[in-house]
A and B are shown apart, each in its own frame.
Chain A
Amino acid sequence: MKTDELVSLLAAGEVAVPRRTLPSRLALATAAGLLASTALMLGLLGIRSDLPQAAMDPMFWVKIGFAGLLIVAGLVATWRLGRPGVKLGRLPPSTTAMPVLLLWMLALASLGQATPSQRVTLLLGETWSSCAFLIALLAAPLLASTLWAMRGMAPTRLRLAGAAAGLFSGSLAALVYSLHCPEMTAPFIALWYLLGVAIPTTLGTWLGPRLLRW
């Protein structure tokens, strides 16, 4: 087929596109993923029974804020990297780095004030062996739905786009997990929550070139 003919063909059909199809697809994917992830959390783990008291503790809000900022970074990166010619910009990297650095500073301060035996408790809490794994598990449906949304877009940097989808899913999962998680120390969050978000991010980086080609 000659290129002229291809052009005529493409222009002959329905060429109009409904507005805002991309944002609604991403919103739909996020809602579905979040629903599945929350259902998984409720069915498998349950909400911590002392949530009302925990909500009075500033550390609870540190956790929420940490996850929240990473969610913003992941969402903006996903949205930008999904469209050709849109630059990633400075916001996503700085909104990823800032909460991590702040949390590390908080963790170091808290470790500095503690005795050596307390430090181990601060770092490992009671659930260190399952925390990161459970966040990654809760991130799985979100990663699947976010990658689905991204397949409807047109990412040109596939590894980075996959990483963005992973960061978005992982931090949303961390938010969901914090409704269950009993741990309330900065060192614990700085280590295990970060690892929990890093797992889906790494997985997304690996999956990007495999699932997002078009």
Chain B
Amino acid sequence: MERHGGEKMSEEELRRRLLSGLSGDNRAYHAFLEATGDLLRRYFHRRLVSLPDEVEDLVQDSLLAIHDKRKTYDPALPVTAWLYAIARYKRADLLRRRQRWEQRTDSLDKETALEPSAPEHDEMAGRDLDRLLARLPERQRMAIRHMKLEGLSVAETAQRTGMSESAVKVGVHRGLKALSKLIQGQNA
């Protein structure tokens, strides 16, 4: 995952890309999210030393949140202040949930210790998200799957599925919203 994490994007570059993204530039927005993912990964690696398996999930969770709440960015603020505030919130939220979960399952500690250790986290995150994806309505799932599995553009996805381009966009948009709701529900 560290392969494009070499050069850290500067505050100014990050900000420019986010602002272009917010006014509709998908490429700039993609670059912003990619750099943000790297930033978050570094951030969580340092702050979740005891939970390395959670890092990638938390990166994804935060990226979804950042996307979902992108209208709360105040251009008068440094982008990083906004991003890290969201990251800090998501990390605290995770720790709070785990604490509650551990309190409830205290007596099972011995049994869980016998279970095989968690598989490689990417694979696990994949299985989780695929299962959640299966719970979305057909049109949203189709839109997301085509663009995800085959990396198709909006136009290509529209062609394959017979949906209009705006229907694909709406499908992806709504699907992602629903997905983020499902993730929240699952974590709660």
Contact = CB atoms under 8 A, between A and B. Distances in A.
Interface in A1-48: 1-17, 21-22
A3 B60 contact: yes
A97 interface: no
Contacts of B133: 1
Interface string B77-118: 110011111101100010000000000000000000000000
A22 B71 contact: yes
A12 B59 CA distance: 19
Contacts of A83: 72-74, 82
Interface string A143-186: 00000000001101000000000000000000000000000000
A9 B86 CA distance: 20
Contact of B59 (A3, A8, A9, A14): A3
Contacts of B71: 17, 21-22
Interface residues of A, number: 29
Given A1-B125, A3-B63, A16 B173 contact: no
Given A5-B148, A6-B63, A85 B77 contact: yes
Contacts of A74: none
Nearest to B128: A1
A22 B72 contact: yes
Nearest to B184: A214
Instruction: Give the interface centre of A5, A12, A85 by most chain B CB atoms within 10 Å.
Output: A12
Given A1-B129, A13-B172, A214 B65 contact: yes
Interface string A181-204: 000000000000000000000000
Contact of A15 (B26, B63, B170): B26
Contacts of B33: 7, 10-11
Contacts of B81: 85
Given A16-B24, A86-B74, A213-B93, A11 B29 contact: yes
Given A15-B21, A15-B26, A16-B22, A84 B85 contact: yes
Contact of A84 (B22, B67, B82, B170): B82
A92 interface: no
Contact of A17 (B22, B82, B89, B122): B22
A9 to B, nearest CB: 6
Instruction: Give the interface centre of B24, B65, B72, B172 by most chain A CB atoms within 10 Å.
Output: B72
B144 A156 contact: no
A141 interface: no
Interface in B125-157: 125-126, 129-130, 133, 144, 147-148, 151, 153-154
A77 to B, nearest CB: 15
A11 B148 contact: no
A156 B91 CA distance: 11
Contacts of B69: 84, 153-154, 214
Across the A-B interface, the 9 shortest Cβ-Cβ residue pairs: A16-B24, A84-B85, A11-B30, A85-B85, A85-B81, A1-B129, A156-B89, A154-B69, A85-B82
22 contacts: A2-B122, A2-B125, A2-B126, A3-B56, A3-B59, A5-B148, A8-B30, A8-B148, A9-B144, A9-B148, A11-B21, A12-B172, A13-B169, A13-B173, A14-B169, A16-B24, A83-B82, A84-B82, A84-B85, A85-B81, A85-B82, A213-B93
Interface of B: 1, 21-27, 29-30, 33-34, 37, 56, 59-60, 63-65, 67-74, 77-78, 81-86, 88-89, 93, 122, 125-126, 129-130, 133, 144, 147-148, 151, 153-154, 169-170, 172-173, 176, 184
